[in-house]
Structure formats: structure tokens, C-alpha cells
Amino acid sequence: MMEKIFIDTVNKHRGIIYKICNLYCDDQEDRKDLFQEIILQLWKGFPSFRGESSHSTWMYRVALNTAISNFKKEKKRPRPNSLSDHHFQIPDTPSFAQSEDLQALNTAISKLNEVDKAIIILYLDENSYDEIADIIGITRTNVGVRINRIKTKLENLLKSDRS
């Protein structure tokens, strides 16, 4: 029963995990590894999730904590039972290549540092300043200051990319 609720929750918000994997990992193999680790961490945390925040806020928290602070980057070597054995692909931005703007935006966000990337993902996904402050662990005022800085940085990156 719990497994079914978990799978439904993950599926409902799978876009959050895809976006984080795409922006924090350069190649498909790393993305799959990160995806698996996020699912594992979500599963571990699921029984203690008490609904104090929404499912999506909890998923952002776990996924970003895993991608930034808890994911062990190992040297490339073939691993048994790797996710690559499964016919599973993370839909990345190139698969939506019809949109040049999206490609450019993805490239610009990739150039930001890890924390700025997290903040802009949360901002673009329309989380409130309070939610962002809670997930990142900084004050609401700092979120505002930081978002303004990142917006300017992104606009400049996109301008320089076009010229």
C-alpha cells in the first residue's frame, strides 16, 4: 500500500527529479545514478514524511540535498546492476531541442554555482520566497537579494550567448 502511494507521489512530481538531474549532471549515466539515489533517499524518508509541507516541497528538499550534499561522485567504472541495465532514459533538454530558448536557458543555468542553480530552479518552479528560504536554509530577505542577483546574471549570460 505504502509502495503504491510512494510510486504515485514520485510519478506526480517526476518533473522535479528530472530537472534536478539534468541541471546537476552532465551526462546520461551520471543523471541515472543521481536519479536512482534521489529515489532511494525519497523512499527512506517517505515513512517519516508527516505532511508538514507539501509533497513537492519535500521532494525538492530531498532531491536538492542529495544532488548537492549527499551524492558521492565516483570515478567512471562499470558497476553491477547499474541502472543502465534498465531501458530507462531521463528526458533531457536536447530531446526537447525544438526550443532554442530552452537550450540557451539550460546552458546558462548550468553555468551558475550549485546553490544558485537550486534557488533559480525553485524560483522558476514558482515556489514562494518562504518555501525557498525553508528548503535552502537562508532567510527570506536573503532569498530576495539572491534571486535578483541570479536573474541579472542569467540575463547577462543569455545576452552574451546570443551575441
Partner 1 sequence: MNITDIKATWLEYDKKLQETQTLNQKLITSMISERSRSRVAGIQRQFAGTAALTFFWLTVIIAILLGNPFDYTRAIEYAPVVLLALSFISILILTGTASTALRKVNINQTSLAGSINEIIRVYHKPDRFLKMTVIAMFSAGLMFPLSFLPRKIEKVGVGTAVIDTIIPMTISLLLYFAAVKLGAFKQKHIEGLKGDLDELAELKALSNDLTNT
**Nearest distance from C-beta of residue 150 to partner 1, angstroms:** 10
Q: What are the distances in angstroms from CA 162 to CA 85, 105, 108, 112?
A: 39, 11, 11, 17
Residue placing its CB nearer to partner 1 in the complex, 26 or 81? 81
**Nearest distance from C-beta of residue 43 to partner 1, angstroms:** 5
Helix (H, G, I), strand (E, B) or coil at 27: coil
Residue 32 CB-half CA count within 13 A = 13
Q: Is 25 in the site for partner 1 (CB under 8 A)?
A: no
Q: Is 45 in the site for partner 1 (CB under 8 A)?
A: yes
Q: Which of residues 105-144 bind partner 1 (CB under 8 A)?
A: 105, 113-115, 118, 124-125, 134-138, 142
**Cα separation, 139 vs 152, whole angstroms:** 20
**Cα separation, 148 vs 152, whole angstroms:** 6
**Cα separation, 37 vs 72, whole angstroms:** 10
Q: Is 64 within 8 Å of 58 (Cβ atoms)?
A: no
Query: What is the contact mask toward partner 1 in residues 61 to 100, using x (rule: CB under 8 A)?
Result: xx-xxx-xxxxxxx------x-x--x-x--x-x--x--x-
Q: Is 163 in the site for partner 1 (CB under 8 A)?
A: no
Alpha-carbon Rg for the chain in angstroms: 17
The residue ranges that bind partner 1 (CB under 8 A) are: 3-4, 6-7, 10-11, 14-15, 18-19, 33, 35-37, 39-45, 48, 61-62, 64-66, 68-74, 81, 83, 86, 88, 91, 93, 96, 99, 101-102, 104-105, 113-115, 118, 124-125, 134-138, 142, 145-146, 151, 154-155, 158, 162
